[in-house]
Structure 1
């Protein structure tokens, strides 16, 4: 079993030992049941991390419970994958868990130049001005500081339980 810590696959878990079998060899009902069980376990752990974190450990503060309620899981159609993540609900005007995870810098994004403010007929910025403005904004303050990933932490906290549940489900699905 491997748990990836790279930036793009921060919360990805792969159970090894069953790679040599074709998917048709498994009873999909058993696999889906195991995935649902894992999804529920990690969802509850993530909700607990968020509710009990209360702004500590770099987690966002739970004021209204909207983010807490938005955490859910979905088993893929094939049944060999479960996705656990906060989803946009009707109570959210914007999908703000993304703002909480990635953060927001102060200052506005660079837009088009006003007519006559640039150089030449095409009204372009001078060489290096755009890069300097982007670098200045990147070095500036955070309007919303990035928060820790409570979802990846929930998966890592329940890693041994998830591994046990999935190995049991895959073994039962082979028989």
Structure 2
């Protein structure tokens, strides 16, 4: 599997930049984008299903995250977006919690009446910053996981480039 340290979640290939969009047959471009979308979606689902908590990927318990990965071709047909989406099986959109992680402890909120300084019940100078810094330095309740979507794109980038190059070349004629 690819290294998740560098996030390559966008792929651009050269060669067709000088043409206007109207020069291409959009049906063939959309067909190529659908093919690429299926390829990267299947690769991301496979990364997640076979990762089983190894390589920094989340553990697949119910399969809701695997099933939530889908692709959508843009209206113009020149872009495909592959991402996990919130489904009815999910109470909250937890792929975001898995990717970014969750710290232990709650955020510093308002002070209880009479616990602060002065008439406006304020914290001491720097107290809020200290609380935020303690929380940031603390433990993770949910550790951040690797980006299996970016890894899927990076792993299949050569196939994606060849499929799209063929689709764009066929759409020109």
TM-score, normalised relative to structure 1: 0.93
Q: Quick check: 92-101 or 111-120, which moved more? A: 111-120
Distance in 1 between the 2:79 and 2:121 partners? 51
Which of 21, 24, 27 is the matching residue for 1:23?
Answer: 21
* Counterpart in the other structure of 2:146: 148
* Counterpart in the other structure of 1:96: 94
* Counterpart in the other structure of 2:63: 65
1:122 Cα offset (Å): 2.0
* Counterpart in the other structure of 1:112: 110
Encode CA deviations 1:16-38: one digit per residue, 9 max, x unaligned: 21111111111111110000000
Encode CA deviations 1:125-161: one digit per residue, 9 max, x unaligned: 1111111110100000000000000000000000100
Structure 2 residue matching 1:122: 3-state secondary structure: coil
* Counterpart in the other structure of 1:13: 11
Which of 50, 53, 64 is the matching residue for 1:52?
Answer: 50
Distance in 2 between the 1:26 and 1:122 partners? 65
Query: CA 1:49–1:6 in structure 2 vs 1: closer, same or farther (change >3 Å)?
Result: closer
2:42 is the counterpart of 1:39: no
Distance in 1 between the 2:58 and 2:148 partners? 9
1:6 Cα offset (Å): 6.4
Find runs of 4+ consecutive structure 1 residues off by over 3 angstroms. Answer: none
Which of 161, 164, 169 is the matching residue for 1:163?
Answer: 161
Stretches of structure 1 that go unaligned for 5 or more consecutive residues are: none
Structure 1 residue matching 2:163: 3-state secondary structure: helix
Q: Quick check: 77-86 or 11-20, which moved more? A: 11-20
1:120 Cα offset (Å): 2.0
Relative contact order: is structure 1 or structure 2 higher (C-alpha 8 Å, sep ≥ 6)? Answer: 2
**What's the RMSD between the two structures over aligned residues?**
1.2
* Counterpart in the other structure of 1:78: 76
